[in-house]
Amino acid sequence: MSRDWTQQELQSASKAMKTAGHLGYEEFCEQLDKTIFTAYCKDSDNNLIKISGPYNCKEELEKQLQEHFSHLKVITVLSEKDIAFIKENLK
């Protein structure tokens, strides 16, 4: 089910969503363009740590890791497509 929204209706709905603590229309559209990247890291005790999230590019996640998780050693950062490719070729 869908319908055409006027710009005013769209802005009103977007504002209501933001007020309720959700993404507004513009932020939602930005998220659609992002890819899920997963970073595989090791901590000082040699535990494997996996951090995932939506990012525009691999470098964006790497920068976040450097800024907020500098104590972790990054092994690699892979996209969902990279992971699917690896899994498929391990069969």
**Alpha-carbon distance values, 20 to 13, 24, 29, 30 (Å):** 11, 10, 18, 19
Torsion sign over Cα 13, 14, 16, 20: positive
Rg of the chain on CA atoms, in Å: 18
pLDDT confidence of residue 2: 54
Position 14 pLDDT exceeds 60: yes
- Can you tell me the distance from the alpha carbon of 75 to that of 65, in angstroms, rounded to the nearest whole number? 12
Q: What is the mean pLDDT of the chain?
A: 89
Mean pLDDT of 63-89: 94
Answering whether pTM is above 0.85, one says no
CB proximity list for 33: less than 8 A, separation 6 or greater: 56
41 and 62 Cβ atoms separated by less than 8 Å:
no
More confident residue, 46 or 25: 46
Mean pLDDT of 44-62: 93
